[in-house]
């Protein structure tokens, strides 16, 4: 079974709006990572947040982590058409030795 599950499965917004997607997981983790995948391409790393961190920023991206709720959120501010992609969370579970990916959120940003 998937460790990380993203919500919503699909999100459609207008350019300039903010996009928020969530990831829930089941077991304790070392870190949680967010990746972007453009159509037909491999995944590109966006942000890694460690279990002892609560928030990280990178440009227009903001990631939060709530280990008590076993959840994370990715916020993209002032979205652009180029942000259209699928976004995946990956959890590095404690003592698992590997990361597990969710099924992703497909984001469409309309010009």
Task: By CB under 8 A, name the binding residues for other proteins.
Answer: 2, 30-31, 33, 35, 40-45, 48, 50, 88, 90, 92, 97-104
**What count of Cα atoms within 13 Å lies in the side-chain half-sphere of residue 65?**
24
Nearer to other proteins by Cβ, of 15 and 67: the residue is 67
Q: Which residue has the tokens 């076993």?
A: 70
Q: Is 90 helix (H, G, I), strand (E, B) or coil?
A: strand
Pairing label, strands 19-24, 99-101: unpaired
Q: Write down the least CB distance from residue 16 to other proteins, Å.
A: 28
Q: Write down the least CB distance from residue 5 to other proteins, Å.
A: 9
Residues 6+ away with beta carbon under 8 Å from 70: 24, 25, 26
Nearer to other proteins by Cβ, of 45 and 110: the residue is 45
Q: Write down the least CB distance from residue 10 to other proteins, Å.
A: 10
Nearer to other proteins by Cβ, of 50 and 80: the residue is 50
Q: Write down the least CB distance from residue 97 to other proteins, Å.
A: 7
Nearer to other proteins by Cβ, of 77 and 86: the residue is 86
Report the phi/psi class of residue 69: left, alpha or beta, with left for phi > 0 and alpha for psi in -120 to 50: alpha
- Residue 69 carries which DSSP code? T
């Amino acid at each position: 079974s998937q460790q990380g599950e993203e919500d919503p499965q699909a999100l459609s917004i207008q350019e300039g709006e903010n996009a928020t997607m969530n990831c829930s997981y089941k077991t304790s983790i070392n870190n949680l990572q967010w990746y972007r995948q453009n159509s037909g391409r491999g995944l590109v790393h966006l942000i890694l947040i460690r279990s002892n961190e609560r928030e990280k920023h990178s440009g227009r991206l903001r990631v939060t982590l709530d280990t008590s709720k076993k959840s994370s959120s990715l916020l993209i501010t002032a979205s652009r058409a180029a942000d259209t992609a699928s976004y995946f969370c990956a959890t590095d579970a404690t003592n698992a030795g590997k990361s597990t990916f969710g099924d992703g959120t497909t984001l469409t940003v309309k010009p």
